[in-house]
Structure 1
Amino acid sequence: MHANPSNNILLDALALQVQLTQNSLKGPLGFDREISPRIRHLNIQEKKVFELGDKHFLFFRGNFDLLLSDGQNEFKTPFELYLQEGEQKQSWKLARRLDLKGKNSQEWILYPLPIDK
């Protein structure tokens, strides 16, 4: 049986995923301005357990409203999110598939999320 992460955990995971994506685009696009977007109106359309060997992930698909730091521009943004529950079932990690230059990788990078209180 798999626990369900709280809404706060999902929002933290999405915020981290947006930040990681933003950081990965800075270099190639020559974009160095820091943007502090806010995530609002989380809508989950699909949730399922995803197993890879002995690893278990929760997969979420849906959309959210992304409000840019200028407060004027809001975008409905689709997302896919993988979470892995901590070993002691007290925390969660954002899981992102490792991109190995076009190869279909089964390796994952795990990013710890703040513990929900």
Structure 2
Amino acid sequence: MGRPRNHPIMEFPDIPTMLPDMRSRLWRFFVGSICAVFLLFNLSACGAANEPPRQQLLQALSLQIQLTQAAISRSLELPDSSGTPTVSRVRVENQEAIQIGEQLGMKVSGRFDWQLPGDRMQVDSPFEIYMERGERGESWRLARPGGSGDGFRQDWLTYPLPVS
């Protein structure tokens, strides 16, 4: 039997020659991780800052229904319906940043369920709503197209929403 032979399995690589390769791999991993975290933080911060809060979107949809009901009642010479409609199950499908007059705003579209006070029927409807951001960025307003005074630019009617 004799001495064991020198097999490749039993050979150990030279540790000092492995270190530069491990350092470069570790450095690439570290830089890649920092870049990924940086991008993730910036992308999530941009989206959240421009979107209207969910509660304000619900209030804007409710106000939109109230304004539409009031316009229909006036045109049909009916008494105004009283009460606030119930808005639920809002599904946002698209959001787009737009300019509303001099302010930054959002065009939000999707579907929602709503119900008039005293009515048993709940309605599932599509929506497209415009919301204008407040001057200091702390509040939102419902914005509705109001024609064009000069024939070139869109005029807007805005309605404040309660800050929640």
1:62 aligns with 2:93: no
1:49 to 79, 93, 97: 97
How much does 1:107 deviate?
0.3
Higher RCO, Cα 8 Å, sep 6+: 1
**Gap change, CA 1:60 and 1:30, over 3 Å in 2:** same
CA distance in 2, matches of 1:51, 1:99: 15
Asked if structure 2 preserves the Cα contact closer than 8 Å seen for 1:97 and 1:105, the reply is no
Q: Percent identity?
A: 31
Of residues 79, 84, 90, the one that matches 2:138 is: 90
Secondary structure (helix, strand or coil) at the match of 1:90 reads coil
Paired with 1:63 and 1:104, the residues of 2 have a C-alpha distance of: 31
When Rg is computed on C-alpha atoms for both structures, the one with the higher figure is: 2
Per residue, is there more strand in 1 or in 2? 1
Q: What is the CA distance between 1:71 and its match in structure 2?
A: 4.5
Give the stretch that moved more between structures: 7-16 or 26-35.
26-35
Contact 1:94 1:110 in 2 (8 A): yes
SS, match of residue 15 in structure 1: helix
Q: Report the 3-state secondary structure (helix = DSSP H, G, I; strand = E; otherwise coil) of the residue aligned with 1:13.
A: helix
Compute the TM-score of the two structures, normalised by the length of structure 1: 0.84
Structure 1 position 30 matched with structure 2 position 91: no
TM-superposed deviation, 1:83: 0.7
Residue of structure 1 equivalent to 2:43: none
Any stretches of 5+ residues in structure 1 without a counterpart?
none
Distance 1:27 1:54, change over 3 A: closer
What residue identity is the alignment partner of 2:76?
Answer: L
Over aligned residue pairs, what C-alpha RMSD do you find?
Answer: 2.1
Tell which deviates more after alignment, 53-62 or 88-97: 53-62
Instruction: Answer yes or no: is 1:12 the counterpart of 2:67.
Output: no
Could you say what secondary structure the match of 2:57 adopts?
Answer: helix
Runs ≥4 residues deviating over 6 A: none
Shift, 1:52, TM fit: 5.6
Structure 2 unmatched ranges of 5 or more: 1-45
Deviations 1:4-51 (A, max 9, x none): 211100001111111111111112123215153211111111111113
2:154 pairs with 1:106: yes
- Corresponding residue number in structure 1 for 2:42: none
